[in-house]
Each structure stands twice: as C-alpha cells, then as structure tokens.
Structure 1
Amino acid sequence: MIWLWVTSMTISSIFFIFILSFLILRFFRKTSALYILKQWWLSFEDRLHLHQSFKIPLYDHNFRENQLYRKILTYIDSLPSVQDSDFTNLFSGPNPSDIFLHLDANQIVHDTFLGAKVSWTNNASAGDSASALVLRMKKKDKRRVFQQYFQHILSVADEIEQRRKKDIKLFMNSSAGELSRWRSVPFTHPASFETVAMDAELKNKVKTDLDQFLKSKQYYNRLGRVWKRSYLLYGASGTGKSSFVAAMAKFLCYDIYDIDVSKVTDGSDWKTLSMHTTPKSMILIEDLDRLLAGKSPAVSLSSVLNFMDGIMSCCGEERVMVFTMNGTKDEVDQAVLRPGRVDVHIHFPLCDFSTFKILASSYLGLKEHKLFPQVEEVFQTGARLSPAEVGEIMISNRNSPSRALKTVITAMQVQSNVQGQRLSNSGSGRSSEEVNDTNGVICRESVHTVREFRKLYGLLRLGSRRKEESVHSGPIDKEASRIEGRAG
C-alpha cells in the first residue's frame, strides 16, 4: 500500500512539474519576460567591463555641419537592429513603396563588428544645437577594432549614398539666427537635357563642359585653383532657365542650394550660408540683375562679388554656381561677369522656328505638319513668343495639333501687329545679337528683345476664336487661355 501511495505521489509530482513547466514556457513565450531577463543579464555582464564613449556632434565648434555625423547616421539607420529599438521612425522614400527606418531621439541601437559589441545612442535635441551620436565600446576592444570599424562605417555609408545618388534634394535657406541655415525637400523636377527645348549643338557643348568638370579634380589641383565652375543663364522670362537648372542638377546628381536673398541680412550672412553648403552641390541665385538693381544692403555689389570668388568661396570643392537673369548682360556691372567669376554664359532667346519644331515634337508628337511652312513664314516676319507661351498653347490644345498650330500663328500675328504699331510710334527699333567669343563662352544668337505679351490676351482670345469658329463647327476648348511666360 505504501509503495502504491509513493508511486501515485511520484506520478502526480511529475505531472504537476510538467504542467508547471508548460505554463512557465508558455508565459515566457507569450510575454517579454525572457527578453527582459536577457537584457538584465547583458546589463549585468556589461557592468563588469570598462567602457569608453565617443561623441560625434552634428555641428563643430565653428557651427559647421559635421559630415561624419551624417555618414554615421546613414550607417546606423541601415542596421537591422534599428527595428529592435524601443522607438523607431518610419519614413517613405522617393518611391511610395520605399520605407526607411530612422532611430528616434535618445534611443539606443546595438552593433557587432569583428566580435566586438558596441552601442550607438542618438542624443538629439529640439533645436539641433546639441544633437550628437554617442558610440560606446569596451576599452579592450578599442585598439583592436576602432579604426577598422570607422572605415567600415564610411564604406557602407558611401555605398548607400551612391545608391541614393539620384535622389536630389532642394535646399532653401532659413532666416538668420537659426542654427540650421538650410532646410531641404526632395527635388522631383522632371526636366532633363533630353526634354529641354534647346539647340542640339549648344546642349551638347554644355553637357560636355559639365562632364569635363566632373573629371577635372586633379587638373584644378595642379593649377592651384578651386574645383568649382560658374554659369550665367540669361534671357527673357519663360525661355527655360529654371528647367535648364533642373536638367544640370540631374545630370550632375548634385543637390541644389537655392538662396532666398530676402532672408540674407548682410555680407557675413552670405559667408555663413556658403560655409553650410556641402561638396557636390549646385548653388543657385536667381534674378541677379534685379537683385543688384535693388537697394538692399544685403545685396550690395561687393557682397555678391565676395560670395562669387572671395576667400570663403574656396572653403569647399566640386561646386557649381548658377546665376540667372531676365535681362541682358549689359544691365549689370561688368565686374560681376568677368572671367573667373562667371565661366560660362548661356543665352536663352525667345522661340524661333527651330525651337518651335522641338516643342511641337515634344508637346504634340509632330515631326512635320502642313501648317509648318505658314508657322515658319510668321517667324520670318520677326514675330516671337517665349517657349513657355508656345508650350502653354500646345498643352491647352494637345488633343488637336492643327488647332494648336493655328493658335500659335494667330498669337504671333497679333504680337507682330502690336510690335509694328510700337515701331511706327517710336520711329526706331532695337535688336541685339549674342555672338560666341574666343574664351569658351557659350552663347546663342538672338535678334529680338523681350516684348510685353500680357496686353494681347484679349486680342488673342477674340481673333483666335473667330478664326477657329470659321473652320470648326464645334466649340474650341480654351485655345486662348491665359498665356503667362514663366522661367522653366
């Protein structure tokens, strides 16, 4: 009897232990208790070693952005362990299907390299002034892996940046007094050299010049010159300057720093903005002629000249500076345009027949049309529209190429009539011609100055509508809509 009782107790104990073990395992599997115990053990083990910390701040003591900070942050965000952080930010990429992880402020992520365990802490602050990344590693591992670890970080970061090279950013300067002087947004302008309506020979010259610049680091160093290049784009509004800037940036894969001069306070602020730009970037100043004609102390001639080629402009390499003007080169001080300050001059004329055919091919899919001779004849009379005005007419009438061409003809005829009235009233006309010089300056020929076209909208609307109604029985959709030339 005693033996049977002991046996039954043993079986009951085993069964109880089995049930208890099952419940404990189920508890650990369903909860984070096992993870918590693991973290406690790692923390206890960690306290048995001596550690050293390294701080990588966002800004150096001169308030310049620390490029090492950006590279390390790129590397950290690529670690699989970021997903295990207590708090991680998710961002969409340039493509809607892309999702990027970003370590949140004051969070820790762990990494392993050559058997050494390290941790990174994102010490971020609200104003970015004290933002820093902190590396913590065991002292016994420092001499063994420190140099190799950072070389590994830079290599991975460069590889990631190379993959993202086509993701161009547009930077805009903030008001003086803010520590972070530039704010960025993704630059998604669709223009490229293939879509820009420009003389093919001139376009190839610009592409060759840019490509040669990219490969000329050793050449510039041998000459003792800063590795940078500057371009002046000038011409009437709506001739494609802004689209050309976008095409240049996409060809170079450079970020664009667009300087809003209204937020620049004085000459020193120009220098601060220049210091906070990065290599492999394009610095853009639009409407240079209008800015120099103003009375703002921030845009004095001396401050602009110092920004273009002063000593501070030498504090960075592989930069392209682009200036745009809506007028002629004669309207600004020639000291601004001397060689060394502006290397390449590119003129953007009003639309001629060759440019018109490029636009017709792009906008309407036309290589030839029975109305082309009539369009060419109107161009030969001296009538001109901007490419933006012609493009807007073609967009509004893209479902009827014939109607689009007739509307362009009507618009130029009305513009030519108004121009003739002005010439008869004034008794004089003016023309200008841009010629290629021998200093490598790229230009295009133009024989007409910018005409005012906005006053012709009413005449264009009436004349074009009457002409179309005599040919078509149905209504014409918006053939004489408002045509307002804008650069790009």
Structure 2
Amino acid sequence: MNVDSPSSGENGRWRSVPFNHPASFDTLVMDVDLKNKVKADLEMFLKSKQFYQRLGRVWKRSYLLYGPSGTGKSSFVAAMARFLNFDVYDIDLSQVSDDSDLKMLLLQSTSKSMIVVEDLDRFLMEKSKNVSLRGILNFMDGIISCCGEERVMVFTMNSKDEVDEALLRPGRIDVHIQFPLCDFPCFKHLANNYLGVKEHKLFPQLEEIFQGGASLSPAEIGEIMISNRSSPTRALKSVISAMQTNAGAKSRRVSGEGAEEIGGGEQGGLFSREHSVRDFRKLYGLLKMGSRRKDEPLDLGSADKDGSN
C-alpha cells in the first residue's frame, strides 16, 4: 500500500502488510468457460518471457475489470494474485502527490508483481489536480513501465462509458472483463455455495423476477444469505423481498424525476454483453485467444461472481 511519506522500516513509499485474502478461482462464482480462459491467459503470460523479448515488448499484461459495485472485481483481483503467487501493489491515487510521484511508486515496485489501481473511473471523474491523465497514460505504458518485468497491471472501473478512449486502447489494456449484476444462473451458484441449496420451490418465482429485469449485486445477495443461512427458505424469501423492493424503487425513478439521472448516471454506465461486444468490435475487433494480433485487446466477456466490489 502506498503511503503519504516513508517512515523507518518501510520500503520508500510502500508499506507492506500480509496478504491473506481467501478468494481463489475455485471459490469465485463465474462462468466456467470464462474462468478457464482467464486462467489459460495468465498461464500463457507466465511462460512467455522469450516471446515478449523476441517481439521487443515489455513482459507485462494488463487487465480491465469493469462493472457495478459488489459484482466481485476485488475478489477477482485476489484470486489472480493467489493463482500467480505474485505480490500485490495496491495504488491509492488519492495518496499520490503528482505524476512524478506515480512514476516513483512504479519504480519502487518489484518484478513478478501485480499493480492494482481500483476505481480509476471515479478518480478521473473527480478531476484531481495532482495526477494528470497524461501521467496515468505514461504509468500504464510509458518508457518507465519497462523498469521491471513479469508484471500484471489491473485496473477496475464501475463503468468505462465516460472514460477517455486513450486509456482503453490496445497496449494499455490487453484484456477487458465485464462484471454484471447477478442473473439467475449466478444466483443458483450463490444459493448452492451459501445455503447448500441446488433446487427449491421458490426458484421458479426467483427466475421470473430475474427475467423481469430485477437484480441485485452478488455481494448484496450473498450478505442476505449469510444473515439467514440457518434457514434457506427464509433466505430465499428475503432475497425475493429485497429484489422486489429494488425493482419498485427503479420503477419509481424511471417514471418520476429520476428518469434523467438513470439515463446519464450509474445505470447508463452498465453494459449488456451484446453492447460491450458490439462496441469492441467497432473499436478494435475481437480475435480468438492464441491467434489475436499482439496489439489488439481481448474481451473475455462478462463474469458473474461473488465479491465485495
């Protein structure tokens, strides 16, 4: 974790703490094919030192995780770190004094590490005077990024709708992964994990509610299940009640003064899978893993998972 100023016993601007997050790819609730694609992509990266050297490219890989809060982005970062057995450098941009300071943080990190910047879109929207867009672009793929190798960079956002396209171009972001709100298949995974329930008489009602457009984040549903884990039926009824309440609130905002806010606010930043694929085909094109050109990003689609961010 980066700190305001170094003190005795610390490595420059970095303060070390034990990393004990329990999340792993086995515990994540997500599409199996997508999970396997991510693991294969990471494994390929670890074996690609000579390949990168032959191309004259820095041996690093960058990921963008985007979706609403509570859809599992932070848990996914932890699972990646455990899978790679890498150290994690979590950069809080609000604690960075200027562009030069951001470069210094990168220089003081080690090889074989994950550099994580969470909520990048929120930071950019606040228009900080300390760190500029150019400083972030140089941090992502500037000349200073070659000082170290076998690095994985991970950036998280709630939405990439309002983000400068320069941040998302090939070379700065290699892999895009969407984290949507919970759907019914994801809900069934959560019910099995949290409650040990594979089938229940309330499932048809829940499926109908999901098909009607109501949803919560996996974190919200998971918390309801944890609080009611002694009674699966009560837990499912509580989920139904929460989803109906949430759907009613959304309906009131759409029909009232909140309509404009939804169109340009958080809901406007959510991508459906079809929308995301269409946009990236238009911008970059989608290529299959293993046969894509080196300068094109890989969109692994959307991930349904349990997490806290």
Gaps (5+ residues) in structure 2?
288-297
After superposition, what is the alpha-carbon deviation per residue over 1:339-382, rounded to whole angstroms, capped at 9, x for unaligned? 10011111110110011011111101111111111110110110
Report the equivalent of 1:487: 308
1:249 partnered with 2:78 = no
Report the equivalent of 2:248: 417
Please report how far the alpha carbon of residue 252 of structure 1 lies from its aligned counterpart in structure 2 after TM superposition: 0.4
SS for the counterpart of 1:297 is: coil
Structure 2 residue identity aligned to 1:388 = A
Report the equivalent of 2:223: 392
What CA distance in whole angstroms lies between the structure 2 residues aligned with 1:347 and 1:231?
11
SS for the counterpart of 1:331 is: coil
1:175 partnered with 2:4 = yes
Report the equivalent of 1:231: 63
What CA distance in whole angstroms lies between the structure 2 residues aligned with 1:384 and 1:411?
9
Structure 1 residue identity aligned to 2:3 = S
Out of 47, 66, 71, the position equivalent to 1:215 is 47
Identify, as 1 or 2, the structure richer in strand: 1
Does the Cα contact within 8 Å between 1:237 and 1:486 map onto a contact in 2?
Answer: no
What CA distance in whole angstroms lies between the structure 2 residues aligned with 1:365 and 1:384?
21
Report the equivalent of 2:197: 366
Gaps (5+ residues) in structure 1?
1-171, 447-484
- From the CA coordinates, give the structure whose radius of gyration is larger: 1
SS for the counterpart of 2:69 is: coil
Please report how far the alpha carbon of residue 300 of structure 1 lies from its aligned counterpart in structure 2 after TM superposition: 1.0
Out of 272, 275, 283, the position equivalent to 1:433 is 272
After superposition, what is the alpha-carbon deviation per residue over 1:106-164, rounded to whole angstroms, capped at 9, x for unaligned? xxxxxxxxxxxxxxxxxxxxxxxxxxxxxxxxxxxxxxxxxxxxxxxxxxxxxxxxxxx
Please report how far the alpha carbon of residue 486 of structure 1 lies from its aligned counterpart in structure 2 after TM superposition: 7.6
Structure 1 residue identity aligned to 2:301 = C
1:338 partnered with 2:177 = no
Report the equivalent of 1:75: none
Out of 296, 301, 305, the position equivalent to 1:443 is 301
Out of 176, 179, 190, the position equivalent to 1:348 is 179
Report the equivalent of 1:271: 103
RMSD over aligned Cα, in angstroms?
2.0
Q: TM-score, normalised by structure 2?
A: 0.85
Report the equivalent of 2:94: 262
Does the Cα contact within 8 Å between 2:117 and 2:154 map onto a contact in 1?
Answer: yes
What CA distance in whole angstroms lies between the structure 1 residues aligned with 2:111 and 2:307?
30
Please report how far the alpha carbon of residue 424 of structure 1 lies from its aligned counterpart in structure 2 after TM superposition: 2.2
What CA distance in whole angstroms lies between the structure 1 residues aligned with 2:196 and 2:60?
39
Q: Percent identity?
A: 64
Out of 237, 244, 252, the position equivalent to 1:406 is 237
Report the equivalent of 1:184: 16
Please report how far the alpha carbon of residue 422 of structure 1 lies from its aligned counterpart in structure 2 after TM superposition: 2.1
Work out the number of aligned pairs and report it. Answer: 278
After superposition, what is the alpha-carbon deviation per residue over 1:200-257, rounded to whole angstroms, capped at 9, x for unaligned? 2211111111111111111111111000000011111111111000000000000100
Q: TM-score, normalised by structure 1?
A: 0.55
Structure 2 residue identity aligned to 1:380 = Q
Out of 293, 302, 307, the position equivalent to 2:125 is 293
